[in-house]
Structure 1
């Protein structure tokens, strides 16, 4: 679905829609920055009755300077903070590789399951969405890792996707994460946390 860059009618749309490559003109950086600013507006919205990703119910939320500074310490700290994870998701969408964080998140949820029925259902869902060839959100994995997952689908365990999850984490840590920390998006989030981002509008 093509994201409407001039008006986003719901918080859900802010995270489920993404720009297609065809939406990017020669001024790609300018469009990306505009996209980031609109999404930041949703993240920082102070009068929302439905805070982004339901971080805090029925009250506004703004990251502190300490929060934002911690995100630059490690990918683990970034992903461990709901707001930071949401911001990183936005950044990955701008780079058209959000499948990595979505797969990582799905694996985190998968590891918490206890019943065999739930494990089987979720394992097949993850395989269908991220692992199989030409999947809608296929992640970049080697044949050996993919094959091991396929072999485990009939009797999955909480660790069935662990190897794949580690590979995707390493990919984000070594590639996307450094770019995020050096991006205009992160700089604007830092400014907003310091109270310097009042010019950012939703």
Structure 2
């Protein structure tokens, strides 16, 4: 556990350190967790430990994809996302229904910034209902909270 805590508290600047208050706020919503640099990093580590990080990787990849302005880059990236996450039997296949998969397959031929939105909503919902509650109950999160609380008590 020190790996995570030490990573987040090694900086000398107080505003760049992980605080107990910030960490406690992660339990308010998945959005709050993902909106925190440290929360996102901790959640990703948790998902990797469970061998279920494809959803967060897909979601983050889609967030980056939406920022692409070049149509050539968008087309290339859309194909890569499809091949890596959406296509049946892909290396990091996400859990979406057949209909959504087929819709994306069509949209990737003429991609727009929104072509993965439906799959992204589905994946976010899966994380919110499944991975996120498991994270909040995990030893990783509990130990991090306890460690930060102990640090606060010593100050």
TM over 0.5: yes
5+ unaligned residues in a row in structure 1: which ranges?
Answer: 1-36, 48-57, 198-202
Aligned residue number for residue 21 of structure 2: 66
Q: In the aligned structure 2, how far is the partner of 1:93 from the partner of 1:42?
A: 19
Q: Give matches, 1:1-202, under 5 Å.
A: 37=1, 39-40=3-4, 43-44=7-8, 46=10, 61-196=16-151
Tell me, yes or no, if the aligned pair for 2:5 and 2:144 is still in contact at 8 Å: no
Q: In the aligned structure 2, how far is the partner of 1:195 from the partner of 1:92?
A: 26
RMSD: 2.0
TM superposition shift of 1:39 = 4.2
Question: CA offsets, 1:132-188, max 9 Å, x none?
Answer: 121111111111100111101121011100000000000000011011111111112
TM superposition shift of 1:46 = 1.6
Of Structure 1 and Structure 2, the greater helix share is in 2
Question: CA offsets, 1:78-128, max 9 Å, x none?
Answer: 001111001000111111110010000001111111221121111011111
Tell me, yes or no, if the aligned pair for 1:99 and 1:130 is still in contact at 8 Å: yes
Q: TM-score, normalization: structure 1?
A: 0.69
TM superposition shift of 1:189 = 1.6
Q: TM-score, normalization: structure 2?
A: 0.88
Tell me, yes or no, if the aligned pair for 2:86 and 2:93 is still in contact at 8 Å: yes
TM superposition shift of 1:41 = 5.1
Tell me, yes or no, if the aligned pair for 1:64 and 1:194 is still in contact at 8 Å: no
Q: Name the count of aligned residue pairs.
A: 151
